[in-house]
Amino acid sequence: MRLSSHAPFPSYAEVRNLLEKSEKGDEEAKEKLNGLRTSIATCKPADEGDLSIWANVIDKVNSHASAFNDNTDIMEQMSPLYIEMLSTYRASTIRTLRHAWLGNHHNAADGGDEHMKHLDSIIARVALHLTPSEDAERAPEPLLGGFMMDYAWKYLTSVKAGIAEVSLCHSHWGDYI
């Protein structure tokens, strides 16, 4: 809902430009990107977008996440392999969103159509969200779709099994005290 926010946000072209400048060491661009990341994270409930906007693209976006299937053990790590996979996923996801939502209107932010500008701002948020900040401890995960739900379920199931085992051991400790 935060990625599809209605709050003001720069266009995809502007965000892409800031990302390129940041990669070249531009401190002002890095500062602006940090501010934009904060604006996504602190989105007010009144500005949150409608999740239905994702209905026609989530299957395709989810299919891009299959690239992570054999490497779920490195999810969110700032390792070269994960960052490379994330970069490929980000590019594929952005291409999918631009094609599905903007069609031939790739410069949507320049036009007068507010709906197209909103879709372009969502793409800009996604691009920024899926780009690791150089000072971050963890890299971003893919967008929430079937792949991430399966990943979360597997993780929670393994944690549940671990908690059950610890609880069982803990319940027997009383016998020895």
Q: In this structure, which amino acid lies at residue 142? A: P
pLDDT beneath 70, residues of the chain: 72, 74, 105-112, 144-177
Q: Are 21 and 29 in contact (CB under 8 A)?
A: yes
Q: Are 163 and 80 in contact (CB under 8 A)?
A: no
**What confidence score (pLDDT) does residue 142 get?**
76
**What confidence score (pLDDT) does residue 146 get?**
47
Q: Are 53 and 5 in contact (CB under 8 A)?
A: no
User: What's the token pair of residue 46?
Assistant: 């009144």
175 burial level (CB within 10 Å; 0-12, 13-18, 19+): exposed
* Together in a domain, 172 and 96: no
**Total of domains in the chain:** 2
**What confidence score (pLDDT) does residue 156 get?**
62
* Together in a domain, 25 and 96: yes
> In this structure, is residue 69 part of a structural domain?
yes
Rounded Cα–Cα distance for residues 73 and 82 (Å) = 10
**What confidence score (pLDDT) does residue 91 get?**
95
Reported pTM: 0.79
Q: Which residues constitute the domain of residue 151?
A: 145-177
